[in-house]
Amino acid sequence: MLRTSTVLLWAAALGLAAAAAPVVQSRAATAPVPTGAIVFVGTDNNIHYAHDAGAKPECLTCPAQGLRVRRETGGVLPAAYRPAEEKSEILQYGWPTFSPDGTRIAYSSVGQGPQGQSFAVWVYDLAHRQAAQIYQSRNEHVVYIYWLADNKHISFLLDEQAGLSLMLCEAKEGAPLRIVMTGIPLYFDWRGTGDRLVFHTSGSDPQSTERVGLLSVTDTNQQVDKVLSSGRTPFKTPCWSPDGKHLAYIANYHAESNIVVADANGDHVRSIVSLPVGDNSLVWSPDSRHLAYATTVVPHEPTFHGIKLVDIQDASSHDLTQDEVAAYFFSPDARYLAYVGVPSEKPYYVWRVVNLKNNETRDLGRFLSTQEESIAYRFFEQLALSHSIWSTNSNAIIFAGVRLLVEPDAELQNTPPPSVWVVPIDGSNPRQVEAGVQAFYSPAQK
């Protein structure tokens, strides 16, 4: 059952009927403002930013706002002074990503102009209100951006004919690029020191064996120095604990999948959960004491059956929910877990939040997802390492979509454009920010 589409295709794709009572929320009462800056992709395909959810957003990529620059001999050239033929290029922006300290935002662009398509990565400095283009290509599409913990380097994935390439560079214009590794699929996490990468890939060769491993990175070289697991491993992203002391991944032991926790260097491996058949996911809690994990109902399908929480010290697990779930996200204070529920035989998603202290669940409302948000849910384990949907004080989540006030019982002929919503987890009224298709909060400072 389809739960997402572009704005223009929602009515046809959802197959709902127009009810007499309104079922779509287009405006909401003002709610208490949570803490943290927000960034979102508007329905105009530009990047918008606000220093908090209650402030009026500003467009960072619109020609009339901020400064969009290009590389030019002797300095930079504002967009307003570009040659007419160059200005005719149409740019669409996406995947905004805050630096860990919240002072800069990286994002990608896709351009269409007289010379054909172009793809780029930009970094916007919020203090100087200036953007720098750090990568451009006519061929390789940017599919994901990840800041390193030093706030100085970024890595990003390029979609190439032979697979994915992981690139690394300083977040400044003119900085040299390096290819760290290639493979398909390619999931990864950087250690906080930036000198080591844990990865999960099958490599660029179709005959390559799937593996989880550690890669050491220096200023001039990189090399795989440990293979942690080899063979079929039905999950996406291995990851270090937020405190940097442990490493978690899924390994296949005697045809059985297990969640494994090791020391940060991959030693002293312990199996803490034996998993059922299916594709699996895992995410660290911010306090590094627990892992949330889930298994798909049907292998290779993006819907998980329930979520469990395991204590990494004693390996005890308990259910957080038995709902079918598309994605889940820990709050920065590790007290809550928000998840995207997938109601059976319904054309919409449901936001819910679990209080991890007492296991109580609160329903935060039904919604229709955008295509961009649905992609984020599909790869939420990887995005949990680089993006946040939570306010920095853990009292609200942010998302983009169309909220449904009641259970739709007939076909919706028309829906409003998707909006960015800030939803307090205490059940108070959500705040509608602006029209948008994807949204994130700035990271909580550690």
List the pLDDT tens digit at each of the 446 positions of the chain: 345 533 333 332 323 223 333 344 544 444 446 899 999 999 999 999 999 999 999 999 998 644 444 433 333 333 333 444 445 679 999 999 999 999 999 999 999 988 889 999 999 999 999 999 999 999 999 999 999 999 999 999 999 988 999 999 999 999 999 999 999 999 999 999 999 999 999 866 667 889 999 999 999 899 999 999 999 899 999 999 999 999 999 998 878 999 999 999 999 999 999 999 999 999 999 999 999 999 997 777 889 999 999 999 999 999 999 999 999 999 999 999 999 999 998 889 999 999 999 999 999 999 999 999 999 999 999 999 999 999 999 999 999 999 998 887 666 667 889 999 999 999 999 999 999 999 999 999 87
3-state secondary structure of 8: helix
Please give the DSSP secondary-structure letter assigned to residue 194: S
Residues listed for the chain: 446
Query: What local confidence, expressed as pLDDT, does residue 409 receive?
Result: 65
Helices (DSSP H) in 67-113: which residue ranges? 84-87
User: Cis omega before residue 22 (within 30°)?
Assistant: no
Please list, in sequence order, all residues whose beta carbon lies within 8 angstroms of the beta carbon of residue 425, skipping any fewer than 6 positions away: 331, 336, 338, 353, 362, 364, 394, 395, 396, 397
Query: What local confidence, expressed as pLDDT, does residue 26 receive?
Result: 47
- Residues 37, 49: Cα–Cα separation, whole Å: 7
Query: What local confidence, expressed as pLDDT, does residue 410 receive?
Result: 60
CA dihedral 289, 299, 163, 437 (to 10 degrees): -70
The residue assigned the tokens 């298709």 is 437
| CA nearest neighbour of 434 among 103, 74, 47 | 47
pTM: 0.88
Query: What local confidence, expressed as pLDDT, does residue 362 receive?
Result: 98
436 bridge partner residues: 42
Query: Is residue 33 a contact partner of residue 53, using CB atoms and an 8 Å limit?
Result: yes
Query: What local confidence, expressed as pLDDT, does residue 446 receive?
Result: 74
